[in-house]
Amino acid sequence: MAELEGQGGGVVADPRGVLRQGRAFLDFFWDIAKPEQEVRLAATENLLRHLREGRKDDELKYTLKRLVEGLGATREAARPGFSLALAQVLQAFEEIPICSVLEQIKEKHNLEKVKKKLVRNAAFGNFFGVMALFQSGRLVKDRKALLESIQLLQQLAHHQAHLRDLPRKTLIDITSEVPETVFEEVLFGILQSDLASAFTSPENLHLLLVGIQKFPGVLKPKNLKKLFGSPTVVNEENIPRLVELLQSAAKSEKKDKKLPSVVFDLLQVSLKEGAFELFWKEGVENGLLKEKSGPVSYMCYRLLGSALPLLSLDQLQMVLKGKVMQHYGEHVVTTQLPDRFKFAPEMEAYIDEFLNSCDDLERQLAVMIGFSTLTNQGYPVLSSSSRVVRHLQPVALQQYVEWLKDMFLRPDFDCCLDFSSNRQKQNQENVNIAQHKIARLRKWIVHRLANIIESPVKKEESLVMDISRFCFFHAFFETKKKTSQIREASVLPSDPLDEQAHSMAENYFFGLLQTLNTLTVLGDTAKAAALREKHIHGVTADGKLWIFLLVEYANKLLSSEHVKAVKPFTKEQRDAWERTLQSVKNLQKKEKKSDSAKVVAFQQLLLLMAIHLFKNQSETMDVLSDLLNCTERAFSKEPKKKKTENTEPGWVEVMVEILLSLLAQPSLLIRRISKSVFVRICPNLTKRGLQLILDVLDPYQEQNEESAVVVMEESDKKIKSSQDTDEEGSEDSSDEGDTEEENDSGDEEKNEEVDDDFRSQLMNVLQAGNALGGDESDEELDDEAMMALDKNISALFAEQQKRIQAKKDEKDRMRKEKILRRDFKIKVLDLIEAFLTKQSENPLVFDIIEPLLRVIEQCMSSDSDKQEVDFLQKTANIFKNSLCRTKQYCKRVDALRDDLHAFVERLVKKACKHTDSSVALYYFSASLYLLKVLRGNTSDKSSTPPTPLPEKQSDIPQASQLLSTGCLDMERVTVIYQQALTQFLTKRNSALTSSMFHDLFRRFPIMCKPLVDTLVKSITAGARQHQQAQACLLLHKVLLLRELKLFMTEEEWEELIRESISQVTESLKMVGKCILKADREKVAKSLELLNFLLKTVTEQKLHVKLTELDKVLVALNQPEGMGNSARLDSLYWNVMRWLNYTKPKKEKTANKPVQEAEPLKRKKKGFLPETKKRKNRTKGIQENGVAPVTSEDGEPAAPEEQPLGTETPKQKKGLVPGSSKHKNQNRGARENGVAMVGSGEEAVNEGDAVADKKKKKKKKMNRKRKGDAGNEAEQVPAAKKTKGSVSQETQQKQGKADQQKQGKAKKKRKEEKTPVPQE
C-alpha cells in the first residue's frame, strides 16, 4: 500500500498482468454498469469481497482506475453504480488517500480540457466523484479533500444546464455533516460569497438556513449582519424576497409532491428567531397565498401540516383560524370531481402523525377542534369517519366527545371558520341559512360520535354507553323540563330538534346499534380477556348485552315525567313493551340452565324488536306479539301435545314466518340477528316450518300467486349509514338503472303502434265534430266548433297518455318487485345453507333436494342478468358444497328406505329425460348423495344377505366396508342405473355423460360388478361409434379400480377379461377407414382398453386365446385401417408389443429402394418434364449398366442402399438378422401367415420422412450448385435412372436425401422389419 500512496493511484504498471488473471474479475465492472439495481449491488459486494481476500495492489489500482473512469459513463444507470462502488472501496480500504482519488477524478474528468460534446459526462463524473467521497464517510475527516471538494461543487454549480441544482444540494448535505470547528476554520471562508448572496436563490438561502441551525456559534446575528446587512433572516425587510424565493422553490418541487426543505428550514429559523407570527401572517397568508397557483397553495398546506408538531398552543390556535385553513377548506369542497387532485388524504396523514407523536392533551384537543370547526355552511371539512381519533389519549377523547355533544345542543358558529363556495352563495337565496347550517352540523356530529365507537381507539365502557345514550335520546325523545336525574336532559337545546333531525339521528343510531352488536369486549380485566378469547361480541365486561343496557335506559326514559317520546306509545304498545322486558328477564334466568347461545339469540331478537317499537310502532307490534308467544312456547316445559289436522301452527312455524318477514327488512342488523336465531332453532325445525322457507324459493309458486312474504323496498336511502345498509343495495340499484333504461327504450318503440281502441275513439270524436264529412270542407266549422273539437281531441290524447304512463309505471313496478323478490330469495338461501350446515344429519335435508334442483333448472332457462346469475351460483354452491359433498349425513333412514329408493329412481329418470347436460349433472349428483346415505346406514331387517367374501380377499380389512350395502336394495338400484347406462350408450342425444358414470363407479365400487356386463356388451351394441368409444372408456376405468376384484372370483375375473377382449375384437372388425373423428376416437379408446387387457392377461397369466385378435390387429395396420394418425400408430404398437411384435424402425440411411414406388398423382411446381431434362447427367452411372452402388466415400453401399433386384436369396426371404451390412427386407411378402405391413412405396416414404425435413433447409444451397450437377449424378443409384416408372419428383427427393444421409448411414444401422413374431 505504500507503493500505492507513492504513485497516487496513477496508471497501472502492468494492466495485462491483471487482465490475465481471469475474466471473473473484469465481469464485476460490467455488472456494476448494468441498469438493474440488484445486479449492481451484488457486483459491488462481490468486488469488495474479492479485493479483501486477494489483497493485491495491482488489482486495487486497476479497480480505482476503472471506477473513476465509470463515473462519467454515458449510461445514466452506470454512474450511480460506479459512484457507490467507489464509495464502498474507499470505506473498506482506509489506506487509500482521499486526496489522491480526488486528484485522479479531476484529472480524468477535467472540465477545461474535455471536448465540448463530452462536457456533460465530465460534469457528471466530477459530481459523482464528490458524492462517492462523501458517501465513504471519510471526506469530513480530510480537511484538504473537503476544501477541494466544496470548491469543485461550487465550480459545478455553474453547469445548471446539465446538473441543475444537484451540486448545491450536495454542498448543503456535506455542510450539514461537518463539525462546527471544521466549518469555521475551513468552509466559512470559501462559503462567504454563497452565504452573502442567500436571497438570490433558494439553494443559497437553504445553505444559510442550514448553517444557522447547525453552527449557531459561527453564524451569530453579528456575523449575519456583516454578510447581508441584517442580524435576522425573517424580518419585515426580507419578507418580500423570501416570498419570491419560496414561490420559485414550490414550482421547482411540484413534481415531487413534497414540502421543499428550504421552506421547512425557514419555518424552524423563524421559530428560533421568535418571528413565526410575522412569517406566517405576512409571508404565508399575505404573501404566498395571494398567488393563485396550485404548487404554491399545496406548499402552504404542507407547511401547515408540517408545522403542527413544532407550534405551541397559542400558535396552533392562530394557524388553525387563519387564511391557510380556510383556503384548504375551499380546496377540499371544490375538488370533489374524480379526476381532480385531492389534498385531503395528505392532510389527514399530517394530523395522524401529529396526534401519534404528541403527548400534550391540550394541543391534541386544539388540533381536533380546529379541524372540526373548519366548516362549509355548517358541515365540517374533516371527514366524519376519519380514523385520526384513534391516537387521542383517553382524557383528550373524553373532552372531544363532550365538546361534540355541546356543539350538537348549542351550535356556536362564532368559533367556527365557516365559508361558502361561489355556487352555494348563488343558491342560498330561498334557504334559511341558520337552520340549514345547524342541520348540517348536527348530522356530522352524530355520525362522528357513532364512528368513534367503531374506530379502534382505546375507550372505556362508560364512554361507549354515554355516546349510545346520547344518540338514542335525541333520536326518540325530547326534553320537556331540565332534570339532573337524566344527563341527556340536563341541558336544553338552544335550537329544538325538528322531525328531520330526529329521523337523521334515528338512522345513525341503528348503525351504531349494529356496531355495538359486533363490538369486542372492552377493558383490561381478566374476565374481559377471557371473553375476548372466546370471540364473544356485543357484551360488556360483565357479560351484559349492550342492547339490553339501552333497553333499560329506554325504560327509564319512558317512566320519567321530564322527557317525552317523539312518537308516544299507546296503552297496547306499552303493555307489549313491559311484556318484552319481563320475557327477557325470564330468559336471563334460564341462561345458565339451558342452551346459552339459544337464549342469547332470542334475547337479542326480542330486545331489537322492542327498540324498533320507537321507529315503526304499527308494523313492529304484530311481529313482537307473535315473537313473545313463540319465545314462551319455545322455552316452556309443558309436554308436547299430539297434533291433529286442525291444530294451530307450532311455535317453530310461527318463528320461521317471523324470521322470513324480518329478512325482508332493509336493516342489516335485523337480518344478522334473524339468521343467528334461525341457527339456534334449527334442531326444532319441523317439516311445515321448512316448507315455509322452501315455498319462497319455489319458482312455479311464484308464477301462480304472489309471495306471502311482503318484500319491503328500501325507501329511505338519503341518509346512508355504512352499518345500516346492505352491500347488495348498490349492486341492485345499478342493475335497476341499467334495466330501466332498456325497458324505457323498448316501451317507446311499442308505443309507436297505436291501439285500435284509441283509433276508434279518435274517429268518434272527429265525426261528432263533423270534421270527417264526405265532401264537406273544414271551412264550414265555426270557431266555437273548432275549439270544442280541439278540446275533445286534447282530452282524448291526455287520457291516452295517462294510460301509456300507467302501463309503463306498472311494468316498472313489476320489474322492481321482481328485483326485490330475487334479492329476498338470495337472503333466504342463507337460511337453507345454515340448516344444511348445522343439521346435516336431519332427515328434513331430503326435502330440500328437489326445491334446490327446481331453482337451478329454472334459473338455467331464465334471464341472464347479473342478479339472476348470482342467485344461480349461490344455489349451485349450496347444493354442491353444503349438500352433496358434506361428510355428515342422516344416519336414521331405515323407515325412509323405500321412499329414498323411489327418490333415487325419480332423480335418475329426470336426469335421463333432461336435454341440458349441466342440469342433468345436478340431478345425477343428487342421486349419488342418496346412494351415499343409503349405503352408510345399517338396516335391522335387510332383505339381501351380505355378499360372501372371496377367500383371497377375506383378510383385507377394507373389504368388509366395501362390500357392505347398508340399506341399499342392490337389485332395485342396479335396475335404475342399468337403464340409465343403457340409454346413455344406445340413445343418440343423451344428456348423461361418461363422467357421471365414472363418478358412480369410483365412489360406489359395489355398483361395478352389476353394470360391467352392460359396458362389455355396449362395445359392439352402442348406437354409434361415439357411444362404443365411451363404453370402452368406462370399461377401462372400471377395470382399473382395484376394488372390483374384491367382488369377483378368479373365474369371473378371467371370464370378464376374455369377454372384453372378444367384444373389442368384434368391434375392431367393423372398423373401416379411419377418416372421421368418431372412427379415430373409437379405435383409440379400443386400443387403450386392449393395452390394459393384454397387459392383465400377460402379467396374471390368464388363459385367453388371442389368435383372432392377432389377425384383426395385423389387418388393422393396413393403410386404409388407421390412416396417418401418429397417436393411433403409437397406441397400436403399444398393443402389438404384448403380442410379441416390434415396431419397424425408421431408417435413416441415404439410398432407398424406390423401384416399386408409384408415381405421385400431383406434380409440384418448379420441376421440368422428362423430355426437357439434360441427358448427360446419367453418363457417369450408366456406363457399366447396373453396378454396385457406392457411398460418397467410395465404400460399398449397405444392402438397403442397393437397387431392387440385387438382393441375395436370404435377404429376400427375410431370414438374415439385423446387422450393419444386411438389413434389406422384402416389404410385400407374407411370412408365417402374417401379413407384412405396407408396400415398397410405404417403406420408402417412411424412410424419407427425416430426409425430406432436412432437405427443405438446404433447398437454396442445392439451387446454387448447378456446376456440380455431374458429380451429383454420379452419386444417384442406377436403379433411379433406369426405372422409367418412378416419378421425377420421387427421384429428386431420393437423390437429395441420399446426399444428406450417406455419412450417418455408415455409422448407425438399425434393423427394419415388418411385424414378425419374436421367438
CA distance linking residue 1207 with residue 1216, whole number of Å: 12
292-308 burial by CB neighbour count: b if 16+ within 10 A, else e? eeebbbbbbbbbbbbbb
C-alpha cell at 394: 383517553
Q: Within 889-1024, where are the H helices? A: 897-913, 917-936, 959-963, 970-986, 994-1003, 1008-1021
**411: phi > 0 → left, psi -120 to 50 → alpha, else beta; which?**
beta
Q: What are the φ and ψ backbone dihedral angles of 1234, each rounded to 5 degrees?
A: -110, 130
Contacts of 327 (CB under 8 A, 6+ apart): 289, 297, 300, 301
Written as nine digits, the cell of 887 is 361428510
Asked whether the beta carbons of 874 and 829 are under 8 A apart, the reply is yes
Q: Which of 1280, 1066, 1319 is nearest to 1178 (CA)?
A: 1280
Cα–Cα distance, 111 to 125 (Å, whole number): 10
Q: Across 220-224, 745-749, 790-794, 876-880, which has the greatest mean pLDDT? A: 876-880
Determine whether 318 is exposed, middle or buried from the number of CB atoms within 10 Å of its CB (0-12, 13-18, 19+).
middle
Q: Element (H or E) spanning 564, and its range?
A: strand 563-565
Angle (CA) 358-361-366 rounded to 5° is 90
1265 pLDDT more than 90: no
The amino acid occupying position 184 is E
Residue range 563-588, pLDDT digits in tens: 999 999 999 999 999 999 999 988 88
Lowest mean pLDDT among 369-378, 913-922, 1181-1190: 1181-1190
- Cell digits for 180? 462546527
> Above 50 in pLDDT, residue 1250?
no
Task: State which amino acid sits at residue 516.
Answer: L
Is pLDDT at 316 greater than 50 in this prediction? yes
Q: What is the rounded distance in angstroms from the CA atom of residue 1080 to the CA atom of residue 1122?
A: 8
pLDDT of 1306 strictly over 90: no
- Distance of alpha carbon 470 from alpha carbon 401, whole angstroms: 11
Q: Is the pLDDT of residue 1200 over 60?
A: no
In this prediction, residues 644-669 reach a mean pLDDT of: 79
Residue 428: predicted pLDDT: 67
CB under 8 A, 24+ apart: contacts of 739-747: 739/815, 739/865, 740/812, 740/815, 743/811, 743/812, 743/815, 744/808, 747/807, 747/808, 747/811
Length of the chain: 1319
Instruction: Name 1085's bridge partners.
Output: none
From 1206, 1179, 1175, 1197, select the one nearest 1279 (Cα to Cα): 1206
d(CA 1240, CA 1188): 21
Mapped onto helix, strand or coil, the DSSP state of residue 1266 is coil
Instruction: Using a pLDDT cut of 90, give the percent of the chain over it.
Output: 28
What mean pLDDT comes out for the span 1218-1225?
A: 39
In degrees and rounded to multiples of 5, residue 1264 shows phi and psi of -80, -20
Give the whole-angstrom CA distance, residue 200 versus residue 168.
13
Quick one: cell of 762? 279518435
Residue 776, pLDDT score? 47
Angle between helical axes of 294-307 and 344-357 (0-180°, round to 10): 20
Range 1215-1224 average pLDDT? 38
| Predicted pLDDT at 980 | 93
Q: How far are the Cα atoms of 227, 433, 1244, 1303 from residue 1147, in angstroms, in the given order?
A: 98, 100, 9, 13
Instruction: Please give the mean pLDDT across all residues of the chain.
Output: 78
- pLDDT confidence bin for 958, thresholds 50/70/90: low
Q: Which residues pair with 1196 in a beta bridge?
A: 1190
Sign of torsion over alpha carbons 551, 553, 559, 564: negative
Q: Under a CB-based contact definition with an 8 Å cutoff, are residues 202 and 260 in contact?
A: yes
Among 1135, 1112, 990, 1001, CA closest to 1063: 1112
Q: How confident is the model at residue 1169 (pLDDT cuts 50, 70, 90)?
A: low
pLDDT for residue 27: 86
What residues have CB less than 8 Å from 1233, skipping those under 6 apart?
none
Q: For the ranges 328-337, 645-654, 738-747, 877-886, which has the lowest average pLDDT?
A: 738-747
Give the least confident one: 191-200, 275-284, 1058-1067.
191-200
The strand pair at 374-376 and 417-419 is best described as parallel
Report the C-alpha dihedral over residues 308, 310, 315, 317, rounded to 10 degrees: 30
**Whole-angstrom Cα Rg for the chain:** 48
Is pLDDT at 1276 greater than 50 in this prediction? no
Grid coordinates of 835:
340448516
Three-state DSSP at 76 gives coil
Stretch 124-149: mean pLDDT: 87
Among the ranges given (353-367, 798-812, 1009-1023, 1177-1191), the one the predictor scored with the smallest mean pLDDT: 1177-1191
The residue with greater pLDDT, 970 or 954, is 970
274 Cβ partners below 8 Å, 6+ apart? Answer: none
What's the mean pLDDT in 1226-1242? Answer: 37
Residue holding cell 460506479? 82
8 A C-beta contact, residue 336 and residue 385: no
C-alpha cell at 754: 297505436
Specify whether the CB–CB gap between 671 and 827 falls below 8 A.
yes
Give how far the C-alpha of residue 123 lies from the chain's centroid of Cα atoms, to the nearest Å: 49
Cell of 493: 337545546
Bridge-partner residues for 1190, per DSSP?
1196
Q: Evaluate if residue 1 carries a pLDDT over 60.
A: no
Chain centre distance of CA 358: 40
Note whether 720 and 672 are within 8 A (CB).
no
**3-state secondary structure labels for all residues of 1048-1102:** CCHHHHHHHHHHHHHHHHHHHHCCCCCCCHHHHHHHHHHHHHHHHHHHHHHHHCC
Amino acid making up residue 355: L
Place of cell 453564524: 219
